């Protein structure tokens, strides 16, 4: 299917600094910056990058919570070890710890199925649909505006998904100014092919996380399968490898300082175009509070894992996610403070508004901008309540499942178009898959301790911020909370997969009549959750309606300054470009952009997290780096640094050289630039990548898989 590649029009005209590396560009914007791309060193035709159905961008996919890319015509996908960590954990158990030992499939039959809710999506369509989305919303406000946008989006998605095997979504650019329909082929049978041991894939763990220099081989290789008829299908031994429309070629030459590099991926969310008040809230409250709450949850899981190895394995993926989030939020806070982001943004916003006051558009835009500012100022009294109650649905397993079953029961009787997003017919198979895998990621003692941590903090909130339904379920004191959790988890049958499946398939009346204490708790909490949801949607509706005025002023002001204009990231495909670049981190501290295996040996203590496996250390001592070593130094590369513009979601993104060949795999940012989701500071913004020479050497010399190298199209040495 050939996608209609659309330019964004005069409102997104590009006025750029000649050497600007900042920017997570929509592919359709790239022909407009052809001069910049060519000047930076790109050897291809930028027009080819505007078409998502042409190589190389049609080889770049969303997978798990990050990005991956096809690297063979038989459906091999390379992504990060941490993006595939849930797959590795799902296939681990006492006696077969793939997290610690790694995994190399001996053949196709040895490839292990991923957890049932693991998905790979290939973008095949990206079309502007602003008029269709907003036609029924104009003239409305608040919740009515939100509902009109939501209804129009659902209608477009339903129409798009009439073609079997596809998942569609509507994404907004510039916060309600433009809307795009995204169509993606969804593959459900993904299998584990090759994973290095934890002590390679996550060498340095949290000590090195967001730090440079790095020495992690953060990669995993998976394979996508389809049914015998070539269509997306659930796992079956009869399935066959998916044949992608194109795949990336692995470079046989490496990179050096100053080389052009380009990255394509699915960055999650950035906030660079938010208001100064939102910058202040992030720095002064949201980041420090989130760190404190998540750190308490991390402590719970680590404490339980020390006394119960099986529980530790079951919660390994969740623990890894928590640790990553804590480190990221901490670095973001420090970085925003280092860049004085709040003051800089306030000064910039004030200058923008002063400039706007002298423009003809001021009279039309200023009332909406004032309304945005007033709306953002409200809601601080319940922000911690909403944070804690929201975590009940993300940091639990069994309770999360019960809440999903309860909500599904009240959504199913509605016409599908009126059902809540996430609970439509299109979502039911994913919910079923999530319920099924709970068994491998749940322990009642751990979950009770997690809920205790969250709810004891909630119980300290002032009465005005409390919810009667939450108090009814969990009590108002720590003693009442402990008694309630003991009663609920001792009496529930929801921990059995068969019971979860029965309730998932049950009629709404059966679910409503259930006396299971966990279902009763979910049912009791429901009115409070619905009120919070209604408040959120009303606020989001007005922000969708009002923010375009702020964005129109900001875009015009940025272009007047000759600065980059691109939409904040929102999990749609983006492209960044730059160079392999050193980092001047602080006074008298400058980092080279490439690391080598010598650093692995230097850091190695034999104890986690610097416990490099013996086969790796033996191979390093042997020094057989022929075909992989840096041609100038003779050293074996591990990771490299660039000034590519990335954020969360870019994990696993392919890094390409000037010829479009795969030279690296993005996996992290440096500590000084974690705040880049809010503010791009060219002095510090760097991205960290696995050097593909290191991956190839590991597959060749350390944990050999000759068949895999042949399929990847690279020679053994």
Catalytic residues: 82, 218, 651
What is the rounded distance in angstroms from the CA atom of residue 314 to the CA atom of residue 306? 13
Please provide the distance, in angstroms rounded to a whole number, between the alpha carbons at the two ends of the chain: 40
Burial group, residue 535, by CB count within 10 angstroms (0-12, 13-18, 19+): middle
**Closest CA relative to residue 664, chosen from 539, 578, 560:** 578
What is the rounded distance in angstroms from the CA atom of residue 334 to the CA atom of residue 287? 10
55 by DSSP, 3-state: which?
A: coil
Contact of 403 with 523, CB cutoff 8 Å: no
What is the rounded distance in angstroms from the CA atom of residue 55 to the CA atom of residue 527? 49
What is the rounded distance in angstroms from the CA atom of residue 517 to the CA atom of residue 698? 51
What is the rounded distance in angstroms from the CA atom of residue 219 to the CA atom of residue 236? 26
**Closest CA relative to residue 79, chosen from 509, 625, 689, 534:** 689
- Cβ within 8 Å of residue 131, ≥6 positions away: none
**What number of H helices and E strands is found in the chain?**
26, 20
- Cβ within 8 Å of residue 52, ≥6 positions away: 3, 5, 27, 58, 123, 124, 125, 126, 573
Contact of 572 with 560, CB cutoff 8 Å: no
Q: What are the phi and psi torsion angles at 216 (to 5°)?
A: -100, 140
What is the rounded distance in angstroms from the CA atom of residue 593 to the CA atom of residue 261? 13
7: number of Cβ within 10 Å: 14
Contact of 246 with 58, CB cutoff 8 Å: yes
658: number of Cβ within 10 Å: 17
What is the rounded distance in angstroms from the CA atom of residue 103 to the CA atom of residue 220? 10
∠ CA 215-221-222, rounded to 5°: 150
Residue 479 tokens read as 């003693």
Give the CA count within 13 Å in the CB-facing half-sphere of 68: 31
What is the rounded distance in angstroms from the CA atom of residue 227 to the CA atom of residue 239? 5
DSSP collapsed to 3 states, 86-101: HHHHHCCECCECHHHH
CA-CA-CA-CA torsion for 274, 280, 284, 290, nearest 10 degrees?
-10
CA-CA-CA-CA torsion for 275, 279, 280, 284, nearest 10 degrees?
160
What b/e readout covers 173-188, taking b as 16+ CB neighbours within 10 angstroms?
A: bbbbbbbbbbbbbbbb
436: number of Cβ within 10 Å: 17
Pairing of strands 103-104, 189-195: antiparallel
- Cβ within 8 Å of residue 706, ≥6 positions away: 700, 716
Residue 177 tokens read as 């100014």
671: number of Cβ within 10 Å: 20
Q: Is the dihedral of CA 464, 466, 467, 468 positive or negative?
A: negative
What is the rounded distance in angstroms from the CA atom of residue 517 to the CA atom of residue 338? 49
Residue 471 tokens read as 């108090």
Q: 687: which strand partners? A: 642, 669
């Amino acid at each position: 299917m050939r996608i209609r590649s659309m330019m964004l029009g005069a409102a997104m005209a590009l006025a750029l600094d000649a050497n600007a590396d900042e920017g997570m560009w929509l592919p359709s914007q790239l022909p407009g910056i052809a001069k910049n791309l060519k000047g930076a060193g790109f050897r291809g035709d930028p027009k080819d990058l505007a078409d998502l159905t042409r190589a190389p961008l049609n080889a770049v996919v969303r997978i798990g919570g990050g990005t991956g890319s096809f690297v063979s015509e038989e459906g091999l996908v390379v992504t990060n070890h941490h993006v595939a960590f849930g797959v590795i954990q799902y296939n681990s158990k006492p006696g077969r710890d793939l997290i610690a030992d790694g995994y190399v499939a001996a053949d196709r039959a040895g490839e292990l199925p991923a957890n049932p809710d693991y998905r790979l999506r290939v973008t095949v369509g990206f079309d502007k649909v602003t008029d269709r989305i907003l036609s029924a919303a104009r003239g409305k406000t608040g919740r009515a505006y939100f509902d009109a946008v939501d209804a129009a989006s659902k209608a477009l998605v339903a129409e798009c998904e009439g073609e079997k095997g596809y998942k569609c979504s509507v994404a907004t650019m510039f916060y309600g100014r433009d809307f795009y329909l995204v169509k993606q082929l969804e593959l459900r049978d993904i299998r584990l092919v090759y994973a290095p041991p934890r002590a390679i894939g996550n060498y340095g763990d949290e000590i090195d996380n967001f730090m440079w220099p790095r020495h992690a081989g953060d990669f995993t290789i998976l394979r996508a399968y389809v049914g015998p008829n070539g269509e997306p299908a659930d796992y079956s031994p009869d399935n066959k490898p998916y044949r992608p429309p194109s795949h990336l070629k692995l470079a046989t030459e490496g990179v050096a300082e100053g080389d052009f590099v380009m990255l394509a991926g699915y960055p999650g969310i950035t906030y660079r175009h938010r208001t100064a008040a939102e910058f202040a809230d992030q720095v002064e409250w949201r980041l420090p509070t989130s760190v404190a709450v998540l750190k308490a949850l991390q402590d719970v899981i680590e404490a339980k894992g020390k006394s119960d190895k099986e529980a530790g394995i079951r919660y390994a993926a969740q623990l890894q996610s928590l640790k990553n989030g804590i480190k990221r939020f901490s670095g973001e806070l420090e970085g925003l403070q280092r860049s004085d982001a709040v003051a800089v943004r306030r000064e910039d916003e004030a200058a923008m508004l002063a400039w706007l006051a002298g423009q003809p558009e001021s009279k039309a835009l200023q009332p909406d901008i004032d309304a945005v500012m007033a709306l953002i100022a409200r809601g601080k009294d319940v922000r911690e309540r909403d944070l804690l109650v929201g975590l009940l649905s993300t940091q639990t397993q069994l309770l999360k499942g019960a809440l999903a079953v309860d909500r599904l029961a009240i959504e199913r009787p509605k016409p599908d178009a009126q059902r809540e997003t996430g609970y439509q017919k299109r979502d039911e198979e994913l919910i079923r898959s999530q319920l099924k895998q709970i068994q491998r990621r749940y322990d009642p003692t751990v979950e009770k301790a997690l809920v205790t941590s969250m709810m004891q903090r909630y119980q300290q909130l002032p009465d005005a911020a409390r919810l009667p339904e939450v108090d009814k379920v969990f009590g108002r004191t720590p003693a009442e909370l402990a008694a309630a959790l003991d009663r609920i988890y001792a009496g529930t049958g929801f921990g059995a997969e068969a019971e979860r499946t029965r309730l998932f398939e049950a009629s709404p009346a059966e679910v409503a009549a259930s006396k299971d204490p966990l279902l009763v708790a979910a049912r009791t909490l429901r009115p409070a959750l619905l009120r919070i949801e209604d408040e959120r949607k009303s606020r989001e509706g007005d922000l969708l309606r009002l923010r375009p005025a702020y964005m129109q002023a900001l875009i015009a002001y940025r272009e007047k300054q000759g600065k980059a204009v691109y939409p904040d990231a929102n999990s749609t495909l983006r492209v960044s470009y730059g160079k392999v670049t050193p980092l001047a981190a602080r006074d008298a501290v400058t980092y080279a952009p490439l690391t080598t295996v010598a650093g692995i040996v230097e850091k190695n203590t034999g104890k986690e997290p610097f416990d490099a496996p013996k086969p790796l250390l033996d191979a390093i001592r042997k020094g057989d780096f022929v075909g992989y070593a840096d041609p100038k130094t003779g050293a074996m590369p591990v990771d490299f640094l660039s000034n590519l513009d990335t954020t969360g979601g870019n994990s696993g993104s392919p890094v390409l050289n000037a010829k479009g060949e795969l030279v690296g795999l993005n996996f992290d940012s440096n500590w000084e630039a974690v705040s880049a989701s809010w503010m791009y500071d060219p002095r510090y913004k760097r991205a960290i990548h696995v050097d593909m020479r290191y991956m190839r050497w590991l597959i060749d010399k350390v944990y050999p898989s000759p068949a895999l190298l042949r399929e990847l199209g690279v020679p053994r040495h």
